[in-house]
Structure 1
């Protein structure tokens, strides 16, 4: 499989400069607090979705400990201070903060654009860097949801997401998060443009979405975000008749014990979804 399209993103993802001011603080005092020593022992569980190698002892490891404890702003700054070596941390902390905690829509889109452009530059230099490919796809996907999936597809952003995620799976077949993200892509495209147009124009298929979800959750069964994405896809693709199945997936997500701050945010979303 060839590397993803490396066309510049600036024209496809217009937006304002990154927002100024402090980031919103993590709101849950009961989330796990992880220090550097705990990080070393828990790394495999914390990164079950991506298979990322742990950092060497030092400031970058401290940055990852801060990320997993919910101090996303400090983690992002530490990552940026470490250049290429810290880019995965910087992009993950920024993208997760923007997705879950940034209250201003324009600021959220600007942060996703920032992550996408940083990751894109890294992909240009390192076409097989799965972390760069993943966070580029994640940021573009969330940006697309912010401006509307249909509009993003028309801009060609959908193809960038699909190609990047397919590339990751080809390079790293056990990357659970890439399977779940690609499954979500297939489901969202079909939901927005229909099965026929989705298949003919974007190669989106409902059966492919289900297979990818099952594979991703087999690789990382404790992914609350994956369980919720699966639930939403089941409803989008198969309708209200599958409400019981979707509810069961939300209940499973809500019952998980979070391993870090991001998972605590996911569990809270699952609980809120059940309450609606």
Structure 2
């Protein structure tokens, strides 16, 4: 594995087992990941939250199934925000999707296995265009994986958010009629999922910003003021860990542009 681009900032204070346990509920309100009981799995999560994404991925893979969710999350977040080479980024996402799909077969009730497959495929699909991804059948896989995630973990805010994004992006790219008939996309379903995600994780920069983007895709200019307010709230969030720092920085960059 090539050396990954380092996380560009320092997480202060750095996470250890004690302060991570205190912040776990807040940090994992989005993905509903349970507190790790094993010390070696916890160490991989500490690496992730401190921005040591490659170490976290390698540690998780070495641990086998118990470490696969942290390995896939570290890979996906790194690929999405820090990998500068498009081909390498796509490979990392497809590797994470493949590992998650394999884990589903061994642990079908593991919500993270379904979610990280969906996340990786969705980000990969965006890199080749949403329309092309739909023609390749990725949309159906993503939707099934997200619906399964929600069935297994009803409070998985990020899965609600991602499924809302599926509805919004399909309608935005192919229109409500084709999107509904061919891909099962619905504006009402998308808006309801965004609202559920916001209710589950109301202070998340990711939730606020993605909801804002979805409002514009689904409702257009008539919701622009509300969307801008949500983006401003997202930019004002004080990030707790490396992943949140990357996301808030990306929101602020968009607003400044």
- How many angstroms apart in 2 are the aligned matches of 1:184 and 1:31? 32
Call closer, same or farther: CA 1:193–1:245 in 2, change over 3 Å. same
1:41 lines up with 2:33 in the alignment:
no
Q: For structure 1, which runs of at least 5 residues remain unmatched after alignment? A: 1-19
2:35 alignment partner in structure 1: 54
1:205 alignment partner in structure 2: 186
Call closer, same or farther: CA 1:31–1:191 in 2, change over 3 Å. farther
Aligned partners of 1:32 and 1:260 also within 8 Å: no
Aligned partners of 1:31 and 1:258 also within 8 Å: no
- How many angstroms apart in 1 are the aligned matches of 2:13 and 2:219? 36
- How many angstroms apart in 1 are the aligned matches of 2:137 and 2:38? 41
Aligned partners of 2:110 and 2:152 also within 8 Å: no
- Cα deviation for residue 57 of structure 1 reads 4.7
- Cα deviation for residue 30 of structure 1 reads 5.6
* TM-score normalized by the length of structure 2: 0.96
Aligned partners of 1:250 and 1:273 also within 8 Å: no
- How many angstroms apart in 2 are the aligned matches of 1:142 and 1:80? 21
Aligned partners of 1:32 and 1:258 also within 8 Å: no
Higher mean C-alpha deviation, range 196-205 or range 23-32:
23-32
- How many angstroms apart in 1 are the aligned matches of 2:64 and 2:212? 37
Aligned partners of 1:32 and 1:261 also within 8 Å: no
Q: Select the structure that is richer in helix.
A: 2
1:70 alignment partner in structure 2: 51
- How many angstroms apart in 2 are the aligned matches of 1:59 and 1:42? 19
The root-mean-square deviation of aligned C-alpha atoms, in Å, is 1.2
- How many angstroms apart in 2 are the aligned matches of 1:150 and 1:90? 29
- How many angstroms apart in 2 are the aligned matches of 1:138 and 1:156? 15
Which of the pair has the greater relative contact order for Cα pairs under 8 Å at 6+ separation?
Answer: 1
2:202 alignment partner in structure 1: 221
- Cα deviation for residue 151 of structure 1 reads 0.6
Aligned partners of 2:93 and 2:121 also within 8 Å: yes
1:134 alignment partner in structure 2: 115
1:93 alignment partner in structure 2: 74
1:165 lines up with 2:146 in the alignment:
yes
Higher mean C-alpha deviation, range 240-249 or range 84-93:
240-249
1:238 alignment partner in structure 2: 219
1:260 alignment partner in structure 2: 241
2:159 alignment partner in structure 1: 178
Aligned partners of 2:11 and 2:51 also within 8 Å: no
- Cα deviation for residue 32 of structure 1 reads 5.0
* TM-score normalized by the length of structure 1: 0.90
Aligned partners of 1:227 and 1:252 also within 8 Å: yes
Call closer, same or farther: CA 1:105–1:229 in 2, change over 3 Å. same
Q: For structure 2, which runs of at least 5 residues remain unmatched after alignment? A: none
